[in-house]
Amino acid sequence: MAAHPSEGELFKRVLGAEWSKLHPDIQRRFDKNPEPGKPLLYHGRLGELRASRFGKLLGHLTRPLIQGALIPFSDTDVPVDIQVYSKHGSRNIYKQRIYSLRGRKPIQFTSYMAESEQGEVLEYVGMGLGMKLLLRVEDGNLHFTSDGYFWDVLGWRMPLPALLTPGKTFLCHRNNAPNQFDIRIEIRHALFGTAFVQAGVFQEREPTREAA
C-alpha cells in the first residue's frame, strides 16, 4: 500500500476485475498519490451549471451546513479549479473545488472520500453528512451512483430518508485524451426531478511553485 492515499487504490479494491476495463488514461489519472502539501491540480470549465427551482431552494437552505455542495445558481462557461490532496495521518482523499461564477464571489466546496470497514466508498460533504457510492465501468468510463445518504454521528451512520435528501446522484468521468476528461453530474429527486446538473471539460495542470 502506498505511503499516501489515492482514489485509484480505493477504486481498485471496490471494482476488482472491473478496474482493468477502465480506459488506461483514467487508471493512470486515479493512480496518482498526492503527498501532503503537493496536491494534484485540475482546471476546467462547466458548459452547464444548472439548478431547478427546487434545487435553488434546497441549495440556499443548506448553504449554512454544506456550503458549495449544492450550488443554487445556473450559469454557463464557469471556470473551476480542483485540488486533490491528502493529509498526514489520514487515509482519506480530499477534494477542494472553487467555482468562479459570473458576478458572484467564488464558491468553495471541499469533500473527502473514505472507505468504510465494510469496503464501501463513502463521500462526506460536510457536518457529518455523506453518501455511499456505487461504482461501475461502462465503455471504459467510470460511473458513480449514490446508494443512500447518511448523517455520521460519533461514528454511527444514520440513514436519511430518500425524500429528505437532494436526490440520487449520478456522476460520469469520461476520458477524452491523456490530459483531458469530461465530468457530468446529475442529482435527481424522486418527486421534483432533476435538481442539479454540472457538466464540463477538465485538464490536469502542473503545480506552480506556490502550489507545490
Query: Which has the higher per-residue pLDDT, 167 or 1?
Result: 167
**Residue 5 pLDDT:** 75
Q: Is residue 85 part of a domain?
A: yes
In a domain, 30, yes or no: yes
Asked if residue 120 belongs to a domain, the reply is: yes
The number of domains in the chain is 1
Which of 197, 172, 184 is closest to 23 using CA atoms?
172
Indicate whether 49 pLDDT > 50. yes
Give the residue, 5 or 201, on which the prediction is more confident. 201
pLDDT in tens, 148-185: 999 999 889 999 999 999 999 999 999 999 999 999 99
pTM of the model: 0.93
Collapsing DSSP to helix, strand or coil, 66 comes out as helix
C-alpha cell at 18: 472491473
**Residue at 1 is within a domain:** no
Q: DSSP characters for the chain?
A: --SS--HHHHHHHHHGGGGGGS-HHHHHHHH--PBTTB-EEEEEEEEEEEE-HHHHHHHHHHHHHHTTTS----BSSEEEEEEEE--TT---EEEEEEE--TTS--EEEEEEEEE-TTS-EEEEEETTEEEEEEEEEETTEEEEEEEEEEEEETTEEEE--GGGSS-EEEEEEEEEETTEEEEEEEEEETTTEEEEEEEEEEEEEPPPTTT-
Q: With bands split at pLDDT 50, 70 and 90, how would you rate the model's confidence at 212? A: very low
Q: Report the C-alpha gap between 196 and 73 in whole angstroms.
A: 9
| Structural domain harbouring 113 | 7-205
Longest distance between any two alpha carbons in the chain, whole Å: 48
Asked whether residue 93 is assigned to any structural domain, the reply reads yes
119-147 pLDDT, tens digit each: 999 999 999 999 999 999 999 999 999 99
pLDDT at 211: 45
Is residue 121 in some structural domain?
Answer: yes
pLDDT band at 2 (very low <50, low <70, confident <90, very high): low
Q: How confident is the model at residue 65 (pLDDT cuts 50, 70, 90)?
A: confident
Query: 14 pLDDT exceeds 50?
Result: yes
Stretch (H or E) spanning 12: helix 7-15
Q: Tell whether 123 is covered by a domain.
A: yes
- The phi and psi torsions of 208 (rounded to 5 degrees) equal -85, 175
Q: What is the pLDDT of residue 3?
A: 58
In a domain, 140, yes or no: yes
CATH of the domain at 188: 2.40.128.20
